[in-house]
Amino acid sequence: MTTFSRGQKGKLADLGVGSSFAVDLDIQAPGFAVDVSCFGLDSLEKLSDERYMVFYNQLASPGDAVRLDLRSGGARFNVNLDALPSTISKLVFVAAIDGAQTMRALGASSLSLGSALRFPWSGADFGDEKAVIVAELYRRDGQWRFGAVGQGFNGGLGALLEHFGGTQAAPAPSKAAAAAPAASKVSLSKVTLEKRGDKVSLDKRGSAGFGRIHVNLNWNRSSMAPAPTPATAPEKTGLLGRLSGAVSGAMGGAMAARKRSGGIDLDLGCMFELADGRKGLVQALGNAWGDYEGAPWMKLDADDRTGASSTGENLYINGDQFAQIRRAIIFTFIYEGVPNWSATDGVVTVAVPNQAPIEVRLDGGGSQMMCAIAMIENQGGQLQVTKMVEYFEQQGKTSAHEMMDRRFNFGLRWKTGSKD
């Protein structure tokens, strides 16, 4: 492997690098977080197409020309130069701090281009800058080249975005406010997992743990079709048994039709597996609310029986006890209203204190009953969130819940249950 120093440049062909390779950023940031990004610039070195800014809130560019895999201590950018349009002439890899620290606080860090080269750098190379332009790939005379930059930059990621000609989106106004058409802007405020299988890993920001983790489900409550009146509404049959220990005990009963004025109602729940192997369920059916202070270290907020709450449905996970949790499948099912998932415009947000919120949208789907939205896993102490968005429906006498259970290999026992 060739070692580059600051300012050194070279042709990829001379380095034995093809058109598809990985760019690894290994950043030592003790006790604080560093955001990494890749800017795809045009011939004027401007971000003329914001889709080619790849960062925590946009994990891939069109055609997967650049795809970001976030992980502890840095990131990997998977690059396919052949998938880039001719309008993109340069890829710039940057790191930025969002907080009180500066670049001088970094330890020994590096950027590697596959197994071909390594560019080492550290906080000792910088002062009070909040960002650094680490390296760049650029097209010249029909050939791609690599340049080790290592240039400090005053200002964080937002300032870098402005430097490259992009515009940061302001906080969203109320929906009632009229908005004139505007140029596309980049939001730096959250992580959005766009495709099934996209994932992000978070490190603990404190010695105790992750704190109070908030999982929120929200959706469009406008009615797609008038809800049946109480006189004609069909009675609903419960699908799940309450889980206790090995998931036993009949719940029985049928769910009475809700007294609602129409609209959409989704219910939030999760299947969990603890570090000691115990498995179970948290959901409103069967009043299996969970426990925040004890096992399973997660608790569902009071169920919204009207579907009209602006806060949606909420699950809280005790992140200070995250070592006791192996995995949790966050799911939702249609309890009343909405004939298809596209009408819900549903979104789950996982909010971890002092971290960027993680957003998963319920895209796709049809008339199925259930959706497994996301998986939260303990990966060696890291909190990893993966977008699932897989839909399930009843098949014969096998409920949608049980189909979901089989898919994720929980092996729970299911009995008819009720909320009432």
92-147 tens-digit pLDDT: 999 988 777 888 888 999 999 999 999 999 989 888 888 899 999 999 998 999 99
Q: 414 in a domain, yes or no?
A: no
Judge if 36 and 98 occupy the same domain.
yes
Judge if 84 and 130 occupy the same domain.
yes
**What's the number of domains the chain is made of?**
2
Kindly report the number of other CB atoms within 10 A of residue 250's CB atom: 11
Judge if 246 and 100 occupy the same domain.
no
Q: Which of 249-253, 300-304, 308-312, 338-342 has the lowest mean pLDDT?
A: 249-253
Judge if 251 and 304 occupy the same domain.
yes
- The CA distance from 218 to 313, in Å, is 7
Q: 176 in a domain, yes or no?
A: no
Judge if 96 and 151 occupy the same domain.
yes
> Which pLDDT belongs to residue 178?
36
- The two three-digit tokens of residue 252, written as one number: 């029985």
Q: 240 in a domain, yes or no?
A: yes
Residue that finishes a domain, picked among 115, 147, 169: 169
Q: What is the pLDDT of residues 207-258, one digit of tens each?
A: 668 888 999 888 765 534 343 333 333 333 333 333 323 233 322 332 333 3
> In which band, very low, low, confident or very high, does the pLDDT at 78 lie, cut at 50, 70 and 90?
very high
Q: 194 in a domain, yes or no?
A: no
Angle at 70 between CA 65 and CA 132, to 5 degrees: 85
Judge if 240 and 374 occupy the same domain.
yes
Q: At residue 365, does pLDDT exceed 80? A: no
Q: 94 in a domain, yes or no?
A: yes
Task: Give the CATH number, domain containing residue 370.
Answer: 2.60.60.30
Q: 192 in a domain, yes or no?
A: no
Q: At residue 19, does pLDDT exceed 50? A: yes
Judge if 163 and 206 occupy the same domain.
no
Judge if 96 and 209 occupy the same domain.
no
Q: At residue 303, does pLDDT exceed 70? A: no
Buried/exposed 53-92: b ≥16 CB within 10 Å, e otherwise: bbbbbbbbbeeebbbbbbbeebbbbbbbbebbeeebbbbb
Judge if 225 and 363 occupy the same domain.
yes
Better pLDDT: 160 or 324? 324
Q: At residue 339, does pLDDT exceed 60? A: no
Domain that residue 58 falls in: 2-169
Query: Nearest-CA neighbor of 203 among 413, 391, 381, 1?
Result: 381
> Which pLDDT belongs to residue 30?
75
> Which pLDDT belongs to residue 375?
96
Asked if 253 and 237 count as a contact pair (C-beta separation under 8 A), the reply is no
SS3 376: strand
> Which pLDDT belongs to residue 73?
52
Average per-residue pLDDT for the chain: 79
